[in-house]
């Protein structure tokens, strides 16, 4: 009985720890006026942490412009209040202006990443600070702007702001949790780790990166508006450059695996800066706290507590299982027939399109140079329906470059690629949506997802939007889902794909279990959307015989669905046995193409590939 109670308590704390902590802060803020103002500041920092959480955690972008976006929200409220338009309208207008500014900044820095993106957005924060000081007629300069805290003539109390701040945090955290767990959120996480992999499942990485920055800017604007209302005053010092660095560490302090960690991180920040002033310089203590957290709690405080509760729950659960009889037949195993039916419904259009073209893929005159080095020169070939075409050649022959150019990861200098009768003009994501799928020489998966979840990401190709509005709506639907979104390890379709490639028993394991599992998982992700053409870059490298047999069996099975396959690999004997034709490259030039027996009897191939005269 006691163990049952402890188990339920532990499970409840792990699942509801974040909301409970929010209620605790709300109750603390309602005690008196001083506490109210302190907790409102905590909520402002939490909102800013959530604003950074969107691009930094989900898409691996570090932007330092969020102090400026918060300033836009705060000054929008003050300026519109002073101009008699109404402080209330400053909130949505600030969100729009901050989002528009973030859009322009994101476009200007779209080709930057990592350190360079941080520096570029840092300049935006600096420029915004200068703007506030120099445009005194609009912003009040160094003296700032004061305004009456009213909405439609009704005074706004700090208690009301406290409750509004708590509600905003709960809604935003709920939205981000839903996004993070959704299929779209998992795709964004894949995008943060590998841009080519995300584009190979149809995600336009440039646009989704920009949209994540815009969503973050909108949240930051709300934080600035809340701060302005709480004080009835906006000052340039409220949105100084230091703010950008302070809030940067909030998600890391609290824990990146849950948005609730931003509330925990902001609580620590406020405590150090406001409550612990008497113990020494608050910012120095905050810096030491960040350093200590990085050294001893690398996943963040909330994540460490969650892991401890999860371990305790597992321990109690195991003891509970040991004390009761096992009941066979409780689990429901998804029926392959049902999985096949659902898969068939999803893939009919793709199958019909592939079957309508006897030559799914045609390449004409592809060339690619890097400086003075020619990687490809006038490469032309056709892939027949249901054919397996092997691409071989010595190291540096241009094999991987050929796949990159075909799939749009790299742009060719000349030539064209025709898929199912349509010339491909767009980048990698557009070509993936058109029906090209690929694997990589080194598997590019999301290491924090299971095998089944990684495989399920391949289905993004079937329903990812191509327009700006469609992508934004897709992200918003993932934030506020009306039905279950995302595919887990128990989804019938992913289980069936796992069965077909021989890893059905590993769907609930992490994808990083072994190199062979990673290879097979990536192949499953490429095959699940049933593309018209599959391109595989060294799929057999590093695999044992049993794993190679699984790959071969999967390729042979899927070629029956009018699927054309191009395989690049160094295992000549293996390719000779499974490929209908071989294309031989040497220094980027096609020197032979035909049946394996014909190709390897060619003097040019003997000389280039084997060094024989």
For the chain, the average pLDDT equals 81
Q: Quick one: how far is CA 97 from the chain centroid?
A: 25
Question: What is the widest separation between alpha-carbon atoms in the chain?
Answer: 93
Q: 511: which residues sit within 8 A by CB, 6+ positions away?
A: 445, 446, 447, 449, 450, 451, 453, 454, 517, 518, 521
Q: 53: which residues sit within 8 A by CB, 6+ positions away?
A: 176, 216, 251, 256, 259, 262
Averaged over 89-104, what is the pLDDT? 94
502 vs 310, residue with greater confidence: 502
pLDDT of 477 over the 60 cut: yes
Among 214-223, 395-404, 423-432, 511-520, the range scoring the smallest mean pLDDT is: 511-520
Classify residue 140 by its DSSP letter: -
Token readout for 237 is 């010092």
- Position 603 scores a pLDDT of 79
Confidence of residue 352 (pLDDT cuts 50, 70, 90): very low
Backbone φ and ψ of 372, nearest 5°: -95, 5
pLDDT of 316 over the 60 cut: no
Confidence of residue 255 (pLDDT cuts 50, 70, 90): confident
pLDDT of 312 over the 60 cut: no
Q: At what angle do helices 66-82 and 33-53 cross, to 10 degrees?
A: 130
- Position 137 scores a pLDDT of 87
- Position 241 scores a pLDDT of 78
Q: At what angle do helices 260-270 and 282-296 cross, to 10 degrees?
A: 140
- Position 425 scores a pLDDT of 86
How many C-beta neighbours within 10 Å does residue 308 have?
A: 12
Backbone φ and ψ of 146, nearest 5°: -110, 155
- Position 509 scores a pLDDT of 82
Confidence of residue 227 (pLDDT cuts 50, 70, 90): very high
Backbone φ and ψ of 568, nearest 5°: -105, 125
- Position 598 scores a pLDDT of 85
Confidence of residue 339 (pLDDT cuts 50, 70, 90): very low
Quote the CA–CA distance of 584 and 399 in Å, as a whole number: 9
Strand partners, 120: none
275 vs 101, residue with greater confidence: 101
CB 47, CB 164: distance < 8 Å: no
Closest CA to 264 of 281, 248, 252, 277: 252
- Position 290 scores a pLDDT of 63
pLDDT of 294 over the 70 cut: no
Quote the CA–CA distance of 443 and 189 in Å, as a whole number: 16
Q: At what angle do helices 2-29 and 158-181 cross, to 10 degrees?
A: 130
280 vs 602, residue with greater confidence: 602
- Position 292 scores a pLDDT of 66
DSSP H helices in 379-464: 399-407, 428-434, 451-456, 460-463
- Position 449 scores a pLDDT of 85
Among 169-178, 184-193, 505-514, 523-532, the range scoring the smallest mean pLDDT is: 505-514
Closest CA to 59 of 220, 182, 174, 180: 180
Spell 51-70 as b/e; 16+ CB within 10 A means b: bbbbbbbbbbbbbbbbbbbb
Quote the CA–CA distance of 76 and 239 in Å, as a whole number: 13
């Amino acid at each position: 009985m006691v163990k049952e109670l402890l188990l339920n308590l532990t499970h409840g704390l792990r699942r509801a720890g974040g909301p409970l902590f929010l209620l605790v802060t709300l109750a603390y803020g309602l005690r008196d006026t001083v506490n109210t103002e302190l907790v409102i500041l905590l909520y402002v920092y939490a909102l800013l942490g959530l604003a950074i959480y969107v691009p930094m955690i989900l898409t691996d972008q570090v932007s330092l412009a969020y102090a400026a976006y918060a300033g836009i929200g705060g000054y929008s409220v003050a300026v519109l209040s002073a101009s008699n338009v109404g402080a209330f309208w400053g909130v949505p207008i600030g969100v729009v202006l901050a989002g528009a500014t973030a859009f322009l900044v994101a476009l200007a820095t779209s080709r930057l990443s990592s350190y360079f993106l941080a520096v570029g957005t840092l300049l935006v924060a600096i420029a915004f600070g200068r703007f506030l000081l120099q445009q005194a007629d609009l912003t009040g300069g160094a003296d700032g702007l004061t305004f009456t805290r009213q909405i439609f003539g009704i005074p706004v109390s700090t208690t009301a702001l406290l409750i509004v701040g708590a509600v905003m945090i709960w809604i935003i955290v709920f939205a981000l949790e839903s996004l993070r767990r959704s299929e779209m959120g998992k795709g964004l996480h894949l995008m943060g780790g590998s841009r080519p992999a995300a584009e190979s499942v149809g995600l336009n990485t440039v646009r989704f990166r920009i949209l994540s920055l815009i969503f973050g800017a909108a949240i930051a604007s709300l934080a600035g508006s809340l701060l302005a209302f709480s004080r009835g005053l906006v000052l340039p010092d409220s949105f100084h450059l230091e703010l950008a660095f302070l809030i940067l560490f909030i998600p890391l302090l609290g824990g990146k695996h849950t948005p609730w960690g931003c509330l925990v991180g902001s609580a620590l920040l406020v405590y150090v800066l406001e409550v612990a002033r008497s113990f020494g310089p608050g910012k120095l203590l905050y810096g030491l706290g960040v350093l200590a957290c990085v050294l001893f709690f690398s996943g963040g405080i909330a994540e460490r507590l969650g892991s401890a509760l999860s371990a305790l729950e597992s321990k109690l659960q195991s003891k509970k299982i040991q004390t009761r009889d096992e009941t066979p037949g409780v689990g429901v195993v998804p029926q392959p027939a049902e999985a096949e039916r659902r898969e068939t419904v999803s893939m009919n259009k793709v199958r019909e399109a592939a079957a309508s073209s006897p030559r799914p893929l045609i390449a004409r005159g592809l060339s690619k140079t890097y400086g003075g080095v020619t990687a490809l020169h006038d490469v032309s070939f056709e892939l027949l329906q249901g054919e397996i075409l092997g691409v071989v050649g010595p190291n540096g022959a241009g094999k991987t470059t050929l796949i990159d150019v075909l799939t749009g990861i790299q742009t060719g200098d000349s030539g064209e690629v025709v898929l199912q009768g349509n010339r491909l003009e767009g980048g990698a994501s557009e070509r993936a949506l058109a029906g090209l799928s690929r694997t990589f020489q080194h598997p590019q998966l999301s290491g924090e997802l299971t095998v089944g979840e990684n495989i399920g990401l391949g289905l993004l190709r079937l329903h990812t939007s191509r327009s700006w509005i469609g992508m934004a709506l897709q992200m918003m639907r993932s934030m506020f889902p009306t039905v279950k979104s995302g595919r887990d390890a128990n989804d019938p379709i992913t289980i069936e794909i796992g069965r077909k490639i021989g890893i059905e028993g590993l769907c609930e394991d992490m994808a990083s279990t072994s190199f062979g599992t990673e290879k097979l998982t990536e192949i499953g992700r490429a095959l699940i959307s049933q593309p018209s053409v599959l391109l595989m870059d060294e799929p057999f490298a590093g695999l044992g015989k049993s794993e190679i047999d699984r790959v071969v069996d999967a390729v042979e099975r899927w070629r029956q669905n009018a699927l054309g396959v191009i395989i690049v690999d160094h295992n000549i004997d293996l390719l000779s046995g499974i490929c209908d034709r071989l294309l031989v490259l040497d220094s980027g030039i096609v020197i032979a193409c035909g049946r394996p027996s014909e190709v390897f009897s060619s003097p040019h191939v003997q000389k280039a590939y084997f060094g024989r005269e």
